[in-house]
Amino acid sequence: MKNIIIIIKKEIKDLLRDRRTLMTMIIIPIMVFPIIFSIMGKVTSNQIKKETEKSLTIGFNDNGNANQLRQLFENRPDIKIIKYPKLVKFDTLIQSGKLDGAIMISDNFDSNIGTMRTGQIAMLYKSANWGVKERLMGVMDKYKNTMMDERLAKLSIQRPAIDPVEIKVQDVSSQREKLGKTIGGYIPYIFIIFGFMGCVFPAIDLFTNEKEKGTLETLLVTPVKRIEILFGKMTVVSVIGSISAVLSIIGFSFGLKQFANSLPKDVLGSLLNFIEPGNIAMLVVMLVPLIVFFAGILTLITTYAKSYKEAQSFVSPMSFIVIVPAVIGTIPGVELNVKTALIPIVNISLAAKDIIAGTINYSLYGMVLASLLLYACIAVLVAVKWFSKETNIIKS
Amino acid sequence: MFDFTYQTNFKTMIKVENVSKVFKITKKLKKELNTREDSVKALDNVNFECKPGRIFSLLGPNGAGKTTLLRMIATILKPSSGSITVEGLSTLTQDQLVRQKIGFITGSTGLYERLTPDELIKYFADLYGIERTVFERRKKELYEILHINGFANKRIGQLSSGSKQKVSLVRTMIHDPQVVIFDEPTAGLDVIAAKNIIELIKQCKNQQKTIIFSSHIMSEVDLLCDDLAIIHKGVLLYNNTMEDFRQQMKTKNLTEEFIYIVENHKN
């Protein structure tokens, strides 16, 4: 144990002096989200503000009909009406940005309205332009309701007579649950990826580089046991991977708070719920065996590789293998159950999603933990066996 | 001064008996070597002994099996058959105790470039379990002999290759090993750095340490060697004293004699 601690202390000191480790372990995980969120927040809020304050220019072809409707549009200070006596290619004008939308009234609109038939209105808009449809529909719905009230009054009918059933729909999901199930999947994805990335460089440096430069051989001729060397190095890889993952969560939380001003208060409150100590503790408890599992796998790859370049080329496809199951956790409908609880990476991704949503089943959480511990133990045992084989660790 | 107070009652410090080493060839290596063989015999029934206060030179061309043999003595590799003992301790079953007695140095310095010499030496001293007072004394002695104090706190990556070699020597000698293995220690070094190594080998001999020195440079062997073993393709072709070798020479000089032995073995 004493030798393992000596190795851990030395390796951490050595790695912390390396800029690449500092970048992947501390700077990127802690900085990336605040930067992304602050840029995203500013861009989104500016865009929303710009779109809602923007005056819409609407083409209006009424064929001499629907004066009342046109007046409703003209009364709106945020909508500018341009009359077109003849039909033109409104879609082209909207695509080119000359118009934000167009309203076309049918020839027989007034006569149909007057004779209690249905008047036809066509509306063109571009869904890529945020809020246009809602603003135009707001005006037209107001007109439609006025017409409806007038007709019902003429016919001496009360509204409930034509509206026999009132359906009240209530979503019992809490805001936290809804957000957890939708964007909650991305949070574990973040720390799984950063946890893995945090392990990659230390593993290459402590195994491949040492083998390539001959420093591993100098360690092997000391009285230290091989297993102590392996455990010392694997512990450092795991610690740095864990720090990287935890810092990415801290960075994410910090970034979220930065982004707070542009989010509705209830949404923000729900998102910030996952930062509660209990939730963080549950995530970290799962994270540790996962990172040890990564460290074990990376030990095999990086000791097998003969050079830094070769190690990188082996690790790149491995990143893909980590990303795919992590992404599965973000797919709506994929739930944590007895089967998914046993699939590595997918299980932590789904469990984390449920923790964030506040809907975690503790039995399944236990299964996830047990399976993660089992995979971590298998990875460590395989790494021990691999490291004890002389041809794997001695530069030929 | 250097305080090598080592004394021994053992007449033979290292005993290599019937040692063979077979490496399995992986698929990857088969492609690289363009061979269909499943294994390669790196050493074939090698026998020799090394004694304290004498320099044992292992001479052979590249790929002869010198490094494999030295790595087996240092317990990094295990023999496929046969046995090796260091001061009576088996390299197979008492490997940790054997490593406590050995210092191993190669031409590549094998240093951690982001550490300072002080940090590196302390790290290895801790791994060897050297007591603080003993460590401080030995470090002081070695630093003075090798003139390390001027750069003891600089990062190793910033040092010249000569300075790095000196640090590497301190790391090898910090635990005062009874056996020092030099595996082509001067390969790739400049004249001054190589001189440091030669001086150290001589000092070790004066201190009654057991020295194994592998090389393919005849002049170094001629200068230092007491006992000589010539190895080629894993087979020991010659094993006797240097004096005996000189007397038995059939050619004009050592280089020609070495080539003659190796070529003769080929034929």
pLDDT digits (tens, 9 = 90+) for B50-70: 989 899 998 888 888 888 999
Dist. CA A73–CA A76, nearest whole Å: 5
Of B106, B123, B128, the CB nearest to A223: B128
Dist. CA A248–CA A287, nearest whole Å: 12
Between chains, do B75 and A219 touch, taking CB under 8 Å as contact? no
Place of tokens 């490291």: A387
Tokens of B149: 């104090």
Q: pLDDT tens digits for A165-174?
A: 888 888 787 7
Q: Give Cβ neighbours of residue B245 (< 8 Å, ≥ 6 apart).
A: B228, B238, B254, B257
pLDDT at B5: 39
Q: Give Cβ neighbours of residue B236 (< 8 Å, ≥ 6 apart).
A: B46, B47, B48, B229, B230
Q: pLDDT tens digits for B19-54?
A: 999 888 877 777 777 777 788 888 888 899 998 989
- Tell me: pLDDT of B6 over 70: no
Chain A residues with CB under 8 Å of a chain B CB are 3, 6-7, 10, 13-14, 17-18, 213-215, 217-225, 390-391, 394, 396
- What mean pLDDT, rounded, does chain B reach? 84
Residues of A in contact with B110 (CB under 8 A): 213-215, 217-218
Dist. CA B195–CA A222, nearest whole Å: 26
Distance from CA of B243 to the nearest CA of A (A): 32
| Residue in chain A nearest B25 by alpha carbon | A391
> Quick one: which of B55, B24, B20 has its CA closest to B202?
B55
Sheet holding A79-83, edge to edge: A79-83, A56-61, A101-105, A121-125
Residue ranges of chain A whose pLDDT lies below 70: 175-176, 178-185, 257-275, 396
Of B78, B96, B171, the CB nearest to A390: B78
Q: pLDDT tens digits for B181-201?
A: 988 877 767 777 778 788 888
Tokens of B43: 């050493």
pLDDT at A262: 58
| Residue in chain B nearest A219 by alpha carbon | B124
Between chains, do B129 and A223 touch, taking CB under 8 Å as contact? yes
Distance from CA of A9 to the nearest CA of B (A): 9
Does the CB of B21 have a partner CB in chain A at under 8 Å?
Answer: no
Dist. CA A344–CA A340, nearest whole Å: 8
Distance from CA of B248 to the nearest CA of A (A): 35
Between chains, do B100 and A223 touch, taking CB under 8 Å as contact? yes
pLDDT at A268: 62
| Residue in chain A nearest B110 by alpha carbon | A215
Does the CB of B188 have a partner CB in chain A at under 8 Å?
Answer: no
Of A3, A215, A221, the CB nearest to B76: A221
Dist. CA A348–CA A340, nearest whole Å: 9
Q: What is the 3-state secondary structure (H, E, C) of A169-213?
A: CCCCCCHHHHHHHHHHHHHHHHHHHHHHHHHHHHHHHHHHHHHHH
Residues of A in contact with B112 (CB under 8 A): 10, 14, 215
In this structure, what DSSP letter does residue A158 have?
-
Tokens of B194: 């190589």
